[in-house]
């Protein structure tokens, strides 16, 4: 019998003894994302963000369906080969994920981690394979500017003026297929975050609300594993944007960790903020999903980089909680993806 207790490192981290491989990924992005600096790394760029559907919500679900289907195809597998699908999104009752999942005959775990869902789904998929419970698992998530905007902020027709601290929800979906073998990047560590809430209430500055959770998870990862920032080629947070990124760097310095040399934020690099008028940068579940399945994964496959710490970040709020004056709790989950 395997002694699984030996896999735990510190208080929040698991070291995978049979590291699952990311054998295929696929990313779908909207037209605006396709004009950004990472356009060469995306697998499919939409010309029409409605995907020919009669609602933005249906379009988002269609993007996820495409990402999952093409990731499975890219792994030279069939739908029947996949043991589990882990997926989530920002919409009420995670309808993008569940409506996409109904098109597949794959056992489905629906997740809600807000914008941290890519790392959350990837963590659980990796643990499922490492534990011997599955051969192949898909991790996926999505977001859409228009569906998220009218759920969390204002009707699209309203034309509300945007704060400079506000971020632009990424229209995109990413999916990863995990398996047991092959010459592919593997998941070595999973660090599960704590919910952090410092009383921040400004829904137009999500980067500041989520930064403390990112700081705590990155710090715990280093403490649990004994690693330092120099052990990674890239440390990537999910969607803190320019403001949250700056806060994260400063707070980690107080813990004695300087990540400035290899730290990126997916929301900070996905758009040309000034040219594309996206405020503090990108946000949404799809942000870290398409950057990790596109930019990061393809660079790993080309051996341009060897180790990445992906730290997807999420704000665990709802329209109801905001209207009731609640603060915004944050969460961040870290996954080390390695090619050495």
Catalogue all structural domains in the chain, each as residue range(s) with its CATH number: 18-179 (3.40.47.40), 186-338 (3.40.47.40)
Q: What is the DSSP letter of 193?
A: P
pLDDT tens-digit profile of 135-167? 999 999 999 988 877 777 666 665 666 666 777
Helices (H), 131-195: 145-152
> Is residue 217 very low, low, confident or very high in pLDDT (cuts 50, 70, 90)?
very high
CB atoms within 10 A of CB 110: 16
**Exposure of 204 by Cβ count < 10 A (0-12 exposed, 13-18 middle, 19+ buried)?**
middle
| pLDDT at residue number 1 | 39
The whole-chain average pLDDT of the chain stands at 93
Q: What is the rounded average pLDDT of the residues 119-136? A: 98
| pLDDT at residue number 203 | 77
Packing angle, helices 145-152 and 56-74, rounded to 10: 140
| pLDDT at residue number 142 | 97
* 296-310 burial code (b ≥16 CB/10 A, e <16): bbbbbeeeebbbbbb
Q: Report whether pLDDT(178) > 60.
A: yes
Q: What is the pTM of this model?
A: 0.95
Instruction: Measure the CA–CA gap between 189 and 334, rounded to whole angstroms.
Output: 8
Q: Report whether pLDDT(2) > 50.
A: no
Q: Report whether pLDDT(4) > 90.
A: no
Which has more pLDDT, 5 or 224? 224
């Amino acid at each position: 019998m395997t002694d699984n207790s030996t896999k735990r490192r510190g208080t929040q981290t698991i070291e995978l003894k049979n590291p699952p491989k990311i054998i295929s990924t696929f990313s779908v992005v909207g037209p605006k994302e396709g004009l950004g600096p990472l356009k060469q790394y995306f697998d499919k760029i939409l010309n029409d963000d409605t995907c020919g559907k009669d609602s933005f919500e249906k379009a988002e679900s269609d993007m996820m369906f495409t990402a999952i289907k093409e990731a499975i195809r890219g792994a030279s597998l069939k739908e029947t080969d996949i043991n589990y699908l882990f997926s989530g999104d920002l919409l009420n009752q995670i309808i993008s994920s569940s409506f996409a999942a109904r098109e597949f005959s794959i056992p489905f775990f629906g997740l809600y981690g807000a914008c941290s869902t890519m790392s959350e789904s990837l963590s659980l998929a990796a643990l499922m394979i490492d534990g011997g419970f599955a051969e192949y698992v898909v991790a996926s998530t999505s977001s859409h500017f228009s569906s998220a905007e009218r759920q969390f902020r204002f009707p699209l027709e309203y034309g509300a003026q945007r704060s400079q601290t506000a971020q632009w929800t990424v229209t995109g979906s990413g999916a990863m297929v995990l398996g047991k073998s092959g010459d592919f990047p593997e998941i070595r560590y999973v660090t599960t975050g704590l919910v952090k809430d410092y009383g921040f209430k400004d829904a137009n500055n999500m980067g500041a609300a989520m930064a403390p959770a990112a700081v705590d998870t990155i710090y715990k990862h280093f403490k649990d594993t004994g690693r330092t920032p120099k052990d990674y080629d890239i440390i990537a947070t999910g969607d803190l944007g320019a403001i949250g990124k700056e806060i994260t760097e400063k707070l980690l310095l107080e813990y004695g960790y300087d990540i400035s040399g290899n730290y990126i934020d997916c929301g900070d690099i996905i758009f040309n903020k000034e040219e594309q008028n996206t405020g503090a940068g990108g946000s949404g579940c799809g942000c870290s999903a398409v950057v990790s399945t596109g930019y990061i994964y393809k660079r790993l496959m080309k051996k341009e980089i060897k180790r990445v710490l992906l730290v997807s970040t999420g704000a665990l709020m709802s329209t109801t909680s905001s209207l009731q004056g609640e603060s915004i709790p944050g969460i961040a989950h870290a996954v080390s993806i390695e090619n050495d």
